[in-house]
Chain A
Amino acid sequence: MGWLWLRWSWRDLRSRWVQVTAIAFIIALGSGTYSGLTSTSEWRRRSYDASYARLRMYDLRVSLAAGSFVDTAALSAVGTELESAGTLRSSAVQLVGPIQVDASQRGRTILVPGRVVGVEPVRNGPTVSTLSITAGRGLRPTDSARPVAVLDEHFGKRRNVGPGDRIRVSGKVGLTVVGRGVSPEHFILLGDAGTFTTEANFALTFVPIGTAGELLGQPGRANALAVRTRPGVSVTQARRALSDAFAAGFPDVGVTITARAADPGYRLLYDDIEGDQRLYNIFAVLILLGAAFAAFNLTTRIVEAQRREIGIGMALGVPSRRLAVRPVLVGMQIAALGAGLGVVVGLGVGSLMIQVLRSYFPLPVWRQDFQLGIFLRGAALGIALPFVATLVPVWRAVRVAPIDAIRTGVVTKRGRGLGWLAKIRLPGRSVTALPVRNVFRQLRRTVMTALGVAASIAVLLGVVGMLDSFRATIDHASKELGRSAPNRLAVTLATFDLETSSAVTTTRASPLIRRSQTELQLPGSVRRAGVKPIDLLVTISDLQSPIWHPTIHERVRGDGVVLTEKAADDLGVRPGDRVLLRLPYREGLTSYRYVEQAVPVIGLSAMPLRSLAWMDRRVGDSLTNLAGITNFVVVEPKAGVRTEEVQRALFGVSGVSSVQLVTDFADSLQKELDRAVGILLIVEGAVLLLALLIAFNAASISADDRARENATMFAFGYPLRSVVAMEIGESLLVGIIGTAVGLLGGWLLLDWLVTELLPTTLPDLQIVTALSGQTLLIAVLLGVLAVALAPLLTVRKLRRMDVPSTLRVVE
């Protein structure tokens, strides 16, 4: 008996192989995307751990206050002493500073700001924060003080600059690129104060520390010490020892000791895992839901097609349990097929994810271990979906009285809920009413199909809407930055300099410049009692500057700091409240220490980057003891002068480290976004495929359900194109309902993602919820047009229909 049921169910499967394959793919897509997306956090974490371990990422990093430098040997001695004392395992001095890089190659002009990182050129790289070489070679002991460099992989790869190429840095010093590589401190590129920077427009350049001294005009000096603690020594102990050593060795120099866990790049990478995972989980569940609705739809149809045979069985006295075996076996076979394919899809999704991440973060180790538990869970869901979807209609079928089950057309001819529709007169011919009536006649199927489409559209809107929101945010920032003098350039000096210095006066006196103003840009932080501090980049300038000044809202009288709305919200302060602002304070000629002072908030800026803040020059000078000193000059070119001409002219000025168009940041971030959408595109691809499969399946089921009606129409000479047009009409209605629900759900999802989820994953950005017309158009095109046109896929089936046989089918 058992084999009979199995063979019978197998034949059921084969008779509907197209739909069964489609539903198996839908389940595979749902469970596979679920497995693929939900398994990322584990392998990402393992990959990061392994990469940081391999490259000996620092445990603690001591940075001298901005503008402070000390003797390299003295700094190195602090590390060596603590190594001898058993506190540290190893230490490495660094000299870090801003530069301007001319990486122009073969006719392509590449003039970007950057950062030089001077490291000790020891064998196998620095003992702390070693470089992972991706092309060419690393720095060797013989390179000491030579003009050679290892270019950061991010920039080098994007700009196609590598071993053998020559670059020029501030002061027109030429460097030979000997290799490309990545440092664990820069797996993710961050600008000053933890702000994002773009890899195509920021040249991180690793050079021997002696070379860095020459480039930055600080020969024999250093400004950072990276250390690894000895096993058994806690980070707290090591931090205390370092703090004491610096207080004793360099009493006039302010230092910031950063633990690895607080490293902005490190933190961002690991924090991203959780945030991304939450996002992926939402998408995974929604895709799974869409698949569930679709699975339910088809299996219900298969069971309903067997309803009469079930009734015959019941009439012959076969127990309900046994009658249920055949449809349940069909469900299980679909489940097994779907779950099996789901593992393949899951691995595929994971593989695509790793490719995207690898291109974004050039980690030396990427481990995509097979997550058995997660894949088992995904497979279990893949099996459960069609199985449960089968059980419900089977349960309903075996509960029908045998006489009803045998009676012709008891289910298919049911027309509950149609009464009110008969009262509605639709214009046109009789058949124009058919699509509308059919949509309501089989309401459950309509709802399931529409919900499947809605889930897909919602995910699509959520994914693409996030990108729209990013773009709108950047656009908002661009508009604010370009509100006046949009072609102005920011000239960053290599260090703090007198306003009367040669670098500043030469810059301001350039014949290409219409007007200019000196400013100070200082890294710092702001906090309020009991609230986590926020890293800041404070611009101290003329807040009434005719060149450009921030638009200030809710301005109050008095002196103080202008924060962004996002920073104020996160701190829980409003204009008039006082915050604790931590900024470098000049102690000596080249020594600074951080000082925290209570400062009132005098207004808010709508700029979306939380880390930006502004102070009026008069107030800032007194808070920092930097009157008459600058590190930043804003210049506006004369009419008709191209910004590139100014960049070239100022590039050679000694003491100038970079010259960048102020709106470059927003422009390059916009371009960068297109690259960062890789992962979202994977989700988008899965969603598109799911929606198309749902649409095809719905059309295919519909064609089966309507087979006899279609045959009747053909018998009356109704043309094929008109029958297809009618089916398109019905699908169009389902598509409109599904899309409308999807758009609503998608907007709610997007709003939740932007207002609830993104603030935890991108705390520095104030993203505004936005949806572009293009996104809406894509959603509508997919949800309405693709679903509406899906019946075209059944034309071949309709064309080949055996009309006489179909007319005689007894349902």
Chain B
Amino acid sequence: MSLIELRGASRTYQIGERRVTALEAVDLTVDVGEFVVVLGPSGCGKTTLLNLVGALDVASEGEVTVAGHHIVGASRGELSRFRRETVSFVFQTFNLFQALTAIENVQFGVDVTGRHREEPDRAMTVLERVGLQDRAHHFPHQLSGGEQQRVAIARALATGNPVLLADEPTGELDFRTGVQILELLHEQAHVGVTVIIVTHNREIARVADRVVELGSGRVTADGPPVGGQVPINELRW
């Protein structure tokens, strides 16, 4: 059974008197442990798709089911609980808590799911996994962009949730750092986390298990990368 399932999912917005369709009748399924890249130009509905899966937004029409949770029609509290227990986010602009140190930001991910009682050292373990144990007590403004994004990934991983959603995670980073981040995200799929990355960078799509292309709010292509999957060290942008 698929972990994520969208059936005829549409999202429209009313802007003044204008009705804008961001996503139109999208059908999509994603299995456990898949590494999926959603590709497309700006304004094609990539982020909207990610927001529907992450329950940050709710489809105007259709069905969205993630790990057995029906997103459409759920209450605010149910959506909040779903996000807490099922998905985690990595953002383009990191969105770290500026008043918390790296380890505390990661600890937030642990705390929010309530795992701090079961695994008191989880935050440091995860931070070690992203190679930042030496920067644990630094504040975000004391870290480089790449380090900040690694902290953000660690925070997302610390939740232990089965779905990791990343919106342009390399958008603010240089090539070398971007590759490091991709490696980190790619590793997660190997340990059973379903990873969905949204990007407009076609080069990144080459490392995905599956590429979903969007155009004007519709799925225009869905399958393995054109030319086949390549190792991350072959990427160039």
Contacts and interface: CB of A to CB of B under 8 A. Distances in A.
Nearest to A418: B139
Interface in B88-116: 88-89, 91-93, 95, 97-101, 104-105, 107-112, 116
B189 to A, nearest CB: 21
Nearest to B155: A716
Counting contact residues on chain A (CB < 8 A from B), the size range is 20 to 34
A408 interface: yes
Interface stretch (A73-81, A194-202, A432-440, A448-456): A432-440
A434 B139 CA distance: 12
A14 to B, nearest CB: 16
Interface string A775-811: 0000000000000000000000000000110011010
Contacts of A191: none
Contact of B97 (A422, A709, A715, A719): A709
Contact of A709 (B51, B77, B95, B112): B95
Contacts of B80: 714, 717-720
B99 A808 contact: no
Given A715-B54, A717-B85, A807-B91, A415 B98 contact: yes
A702 interface: no
Given A412-B98, A712-B89, 15 more contacts: A415-B139, A415-B140, A429-B111, A430-B105, A430-B110, A712-B95, A715-B83, A716-B83, A716-B108, A717-B81, A717-B83, A718-B84, A720-B80, A803-B56, A804-B51
A708 B101 contact: no
Interface in A683-719: 708-709, 711-719
Interface in B63-78: 76-77
B141 interface: yes
B56 A808 contact: no
Nearest to A712: B95
A433 B100 contact: yes
Contacts of B57: 803-804
A106 interface: no
Contacts of B99: 415, 418, 433-434, 437-438, 441
Given A438-B99, A441-B98, A804-B47, A430 B91 contact: no
A414 B91 CA distance: 20
28 contacts: A413-B98, A413-B141, A415-B99, A415-B139, A415-B142, A422-B137, A422-B139, A429-B111, A430-B104, A430-B110, A434-B97, A434-B100, A437-B100, A709-B95, A709-B97, A711-B95, A712-B91, A714-B80, A715-B89, A716-B83, A716-B84, A717-B83, A717-B85, A718-B112, A803-B56, A803-B57, A807-B89, A808-B47
A330 to B, nearest CB: 25
Interface string B138-156: 0111100000000000000
B184 to A, nearest CB: 19
Counting contact residues on chain B (CB < 8 A from A), the size range is 35 or more
A431 interface: yes
Nearest to B88: A716
Contacts of B116: 429
B47 to A, nearest CB: 7
A298 B85 CA distance: 38
Contacts of B83: 714-717
Given A413-B140, A422-B139, A431 B111 contact: yes
Contact of B89 (A422, A708, A716): A716
